[in-house]
Structure 1
Amino acid sequence: MADTQAATPTLCRLQLGSELRQMRLRKGLTSTQVVKKLLWSPSKLTRLETGENATVEPADVMALCQIYRADEETCELLKGYAAVTKTRRDWWQSPEYRPLIGPGPKAFLGLESSASALHTYGSEYVPGLLQTADYIRVLHQHARGHCSDEHIERIVELRLRRQEVLLRDPPLRYSVVINEAVLLRQVGGPSVMRAQLAQIMEAASAPHVNVQVVPFKAGVYRAMNGSFTILRFPDSFALRPITYLEHLADHWVLRREADVELYDEAFNELRALSPGPQESLSLIKKALEEH
């Protein structure tokens, strides 16, 4: 059983939702049957089972446990998960950061902070966990041209704080494949790019960070339609991997097993097409010298 004392609120919501769904399926009940018994809206049960609610009421958990006839130990465990969502807050929920984050990025922050491993493909820009402050600043100045300098600086601070997942104990296991075009694209001028590429090289020296570059000569590959991230969770929680997609106007979390497997296969193909970590570092160093 997972240790709720060490778990993030997001991880507890996800685990709680997963276990509630499995309990319902083992009883052979449909969502419609359950919500009719409790006089709930269908969306309420869906949000519980997918971990989308910011907080979970222990009373709701107990109502479901009664329907599913869960044993006392299971009921206490699930109540513990619900209690964590009521009594703890993630750092990005503080007043200084809350106005900066929409629902999609907020969901991703929770998933990222709870994950044990991330597999990321960066097709157009350096992935967030490897970005320098200047690189972040330039990206957001272009993406959010109407924002004040103060707002941009708070976004920079938020993005840099995200990178603490690579420094925690145990650290996030981070595997990254970067399109070679990302290394050569001028973001903020030569000095910004030199510092950014040096940052990638420094991060790649850590044993829990693996960086590869898919070169132009690799030709056509399955993941050419854009960046993505696959998140994996601690073994102590029975949670399947999740895929996260982010585009200019929207964000998506894919949970369906077939969808996640498709992206997992695409990432494995990218790694196979890319030179190994040492050779990839040589490509990064070469790009740094060109800047």
Structure 2
Amino acid sequence: MRQRDILRHTLRRLRQEAGLTSTQVVRTLICSPSKLTRLETGENAVVETADVMALCEIYRASPEKRALLLGYAAVTKTKKDWWQSPEYRPAIAPTFKAYLGLEATAAAVCNYEGEFVPGLLQTEDYVRTIHRRAHERLSADEIDRLVTVRMTRQEVLHREAAPLKFAAVINEAVLRRRVGGPDVMRAQIEHLAEVAELPSVRVQVIPFKVGAHPGMNGAFTLFRLGDAESIAYQENLGGASVTRKRADVGLYEEAFNDLQILAVGPQESLGMIREAIKEH
């Protein structure tokens, strides 16, 4: 589901949970009934953050929910540098800004993951579980900001003009490892199956039976930019590295091509994903 759709659904649900009618909200917000209708139906192509803040105040939404909805509203403005805004900067490490810039401007992204679902395909609960485990020293507010950043990134897959072409290869272990309990994991795998059917998304799974493969050295991402240029990105506990060197990038490109060959095709992979749903 696109961020704009989540925004309209959530705003309507918050109003209903607050026990307020549209008329009551309009009187408090001092706006026309049609404006609230457009916000709740998604007719507005751009949603102003001030409107979202006002509605969250009326509905007494939690800080977590407010941060998430403000992030979604920011996405509707289709700013490629959304992460530079004040609400996001505290949650983004300087080294990761380069990654976000590449992701926002790339024509295509290739990603191998051996431990978890690729970030662009994660659900909110799955993201939150990972961050709570990986960043145990962070406060709840800091975790909320990290989650908001992750969810906002996913808009690149749903752009009206030229959605990002995303090819992912994942280890079968990603489907089996239970992150956040059965409910969280089942919802995540269901979401993965749904997104895998987008025209611009290709997901393949490497079965355990393949044995050793080129991805065993760790996860990596390839950004394909204009003029046939590619950039490779790799991240671990010690930090992140970005390389443009043709020889180094070529090694990652060769590894990803090999992984795609070793993995089962998209349709068979979708079958494996759907089987995993039953297991959770």
TM-score between the two structures when normalised by the length of structure 2? 0.70
Cα distance in 2 for residues equivalent to 1:198 and 1:142: 22
Q: Answer yes or no: is the 8 Å Cα contact 2:172–2:207 preserved in 1.
A: yes
For residue 172 of structure 2, what is the aligned residue in structure 1? 180
- 1:258 is paired with a residue of what secondary structure? helix
- Say which one has the larger Rg: 1
Cα distance in 2 for residues equivalent to 1:162 and 1:114: 12
Cα distance in 2 for residues equivalent to 1:198 and 1:248: 29
- 1:268 is paired with a residue of what secondary structure? helix
TM-score between the two structures when normalised by the length of structure 1? 0.67
For residue 268 of structure 2, what is the aligned residue in structure 1? 279
For residue 162 of structure 1, what is the aligned residue in structure 2? 153
* 1:226 and 2:203 correspond: no
Aligned-pair distance for 1:153? 1.1
Structure 1 moving runs of 4+ over 6 Å: none
1:200 to 184, 187, 192: 192
Q: Answer yes or no: is the 8 Å Cα contact 2:80–2:105 preserved in 1.
A: no
For residue 288 of structure 1, what is the aligned residue in structure 2? 277
Aligned-pair distance for 1:227? 0.5
* Identity in percent: 54
Q: Answer yes or no: is the 8 Å Cα contact 2:109–2:224 preserved in 1.
A: yes
1:105 to 96, 112, 132: 96
2:134 to 143, 146, 162: 143
What letter corresponds to residue 254 of structure 2 in structure 1?
A: E
For residue 266 of structure 1, what is the aligned residue in structure 2? 255
Cα distance in 2 for residues equivalent to 1:89 and 1:184: 35
- 1:156 is paired with a residue of what secondary structure? helix
For residue 9 of structure 1, what is the aligned residue in structure 2? none
Map Cα deviations across residues 15-37 of structure 1 (whole Å, 9 max, x no partner).
xxxxxxxxxxxxxxxxxxxxxxx
Aligned-pair distance for 1:249? 2.8
Cα distance in 2 for residues equivalent to 1:103 and 1:251: 11
* 1:93 and 2:84 correspond: yes
RMSD, aligned α-carbons = 1.2
What letter corresponds to residue 229 of structure 1 in structure 2?
A: T
Q: How many positions carry a matched residue from both structures?
A: 201
Alignment of 1:243-262 (within 5 A): 243-262=232-251
2:111 to 96, 114, 120: 120
Cα distance in 1 for residues equivalent to 2:114 and 2:252: 14
- 1:142 is paired with a residue of what secondary structure? helix
Unaligned stretches of 5+ residues in structure 2: 1-78
What letter corresponds to residue 197 of structure 2 in structure 1?
A: S
* 1:212 and 2:204 correspond: yes
Aligned-pair distance for 1:171? 0.3
